[in-house]
Structure 1
């Protein structure tokens, strides 16, 4: 059953349709776009921050230089660190050699042992001649023989023989000094005979295979004794 419609009120005020201003729709769209852009930027910043935080955390927990393991928090386990290899070889004594030290300074020369001083070859052999002995009371003459062999300083290098009327004296001689190739000094030690036990002999080379023989000593009574001779090489 259909209800009959009421007749229009003749005194009612007619209503106008609401009209929207043309600019309202544009402003609403712009606001929505700005909000969307701001949300996108914020989301991008949050993503970037999360990514950077992950990288920092990964670097902090990642391997050290040269493949070393990260520091261990376990007690009693030492941290391991491997230094990076250098392309410059280390300086070693073999690399430095004799050219100099690590700072470029010349290397000090290696000291060498000095060559032992020996009896010159010109004195080697047997020497013989007649000597004249003088002291405070008398003068005597007798034959002197000196035999010399190779040797160095403070070594025994030969023997000496004094053939006197009263006694034959035999002894040894030790090289004590070398004055170039022309003179040597010998220390005499008498082993048998009635002679002064110790004395000094100086031999000086002369032309024609001869030497000057000069002997000095002190007798038991404190007087000086000297013997001079010219000796020739006999062997």
Structure 2
């Protein structure tokens, strides 16, 4: 349905269209462009500020999952999470410090001396080659005279410093009897005996050396000092008689 139009007002003044100057339109367009550019810059600054704020908070709270290093077993990615073995310095034990930080000298440990177990030496005994009874004639050499008499030596088993037998001198005027003690062993062919006269008119003490000879005989050598200080020497060759 068409609405009837009202008749024009005959008394109304005709309106003239507003004309805009050409310079004003250009100025308005420039202002609009500047405002748009400023808004874009402000928006970019706000976005950058928000991004920087997030990075700061992320760094303060620790690395995120996005910053985690790639897995060591990923192909083509070297493992940098562990330092090379050669670059890690060996751990050196701290030396005990002395004064002013100077390491104190170590005190040497004195080894405990071990006491050797005493061993009992095997007793040295009279060699079997000398066991038995030996008899012969002795010649006593003196500065003024020479005497001859019979000498009998009987030897039995025994060790050093033990009595191993007896000795007897049969002379024209008297007989002397004594004991003998083993004082030294020179291998298997020589022994030294200490003589101690028990009865008779003889020098109380003397030294007898017996040396084995071939044919079951021994050399008898006697040395002593008489009461007057002179030396007494007796030599004899004895044979085994028992």
Check the 8 A contact 1:144/1:163 in 2, yes or no. yes
Cα deviation for residue 112 of structure 1 reads 2.6
Q: Give how far 1:137 is off.
A: 1.5
Aligned length: 232
Contact 2:70 2:77 in 1 (8 A): no
Give a deviation string over 1:119-144, Cα, whole Å, max 9, x none.
00000000000000012221000000
In 1, distance between residues paired with 2:13 and 2:45?
58
When normalised by structure 1's length, the TM-score is 0.54
Cα drift, residue 188 of structure 1: 0.2
Measured against aligned partners, the alpha-carbon deviations of 1:83-139 in whole angstroms (never above 9, x if no partner) come to: 9999999999999xxx99999999998553110111000000000000000122210
Deviation at 1:33, TM superposition (A): 44
Q: For residues 79 and 167 of structure 1, what CA distance do their matches in structure 2 show?
A: 118
Inter-CA distance 178–90: structure 2 relative to 1 (3 Å threshold)? farther
Spell out, residue by residue over 1:121-174, the C-alpha distance to the aligned partner (whole angstroms, 9 max, x if none). Answer: 000000000000012221000000000000000000000000000110000000
Counterpart of 2:52 in structure 1 is 52
Residue 220 of structure 1 deviates from its aligned partner by: 0.5
Which aligned segments of 4 or more residues in structure 1 are displaced greater than 6 angstroms? 1-95, 99-109
Contact 1:66 1:83 in 2 (8 A): no
Q: What is aligned with 1:102?
A: 99
Q: CA deviation at 1:231?
A: 0.2
**Which position in structure 2 is the counterpart of 1:12?**
12
Structure 1 residues 93 and 31: CA distance shift in structure 2, 3 A: same
The change in CA–CA distance for 1:107 and 1:16 in structure 2 (over 3 A counts) is same
Q: What are the ranges of 5 or more consecutive residues in structure 1 without an aligned counterpart?
A: none
Residue 199 of structure 1, CA deviation: 0.2
Are the structure 2 counterparts of residues 13 and 81 from structure 1 closer, same or farther at C-alpha, using a change threshold of 3 Å? closer
Q: CA separation in 1, counterparts of 2:67 and 2:177? A: 88
* Between 140-149 and 107-116, the greater mean CA deviation after superposition: 107-116
Task: Using the TM superposition, name which of 186-195 and 59-68 deviates more.
Answer: 59-68
Separation in 2, partners of 1:147, 1:66: 117
Conserved 8 A contact 2:136-2:150: yes
Structure 1 residues 107 and 124: CA distance shift in structure 2, 3 A: farther
Deviation at 1:31, TM superposition (A): 42
Alignment match, 2:113: none
**Change in CA separation of 1:9 and 1:58 when aligned onto 2, cut-off 3 Å:** closer
Residues 66 and 82 in structure 1, CA contact (< 8 A), matched pair in contact too = no
Between Structure 1 and Structure 2, whose CA radius of gyration is higher?
2
Normalising to structure 2: TM-score of the pair?
A: 0.52
What do the CA deviations read for 1:42-80 (whole angstroms, capped 9, x no partner)?
Answer: 999999999999999999999999999999999999999
Give the 3 Å change call, closer, same or farther, for CA 67–183 of structure 1 in structure 2. farther
Gaps of 5+ in 2: 106-115
CA displacement 1:205-224 (0-9 Å, x = unmatched): 00111000000001001111
Equivalent residues of 2:58, 2:64 under 8 A apart: no
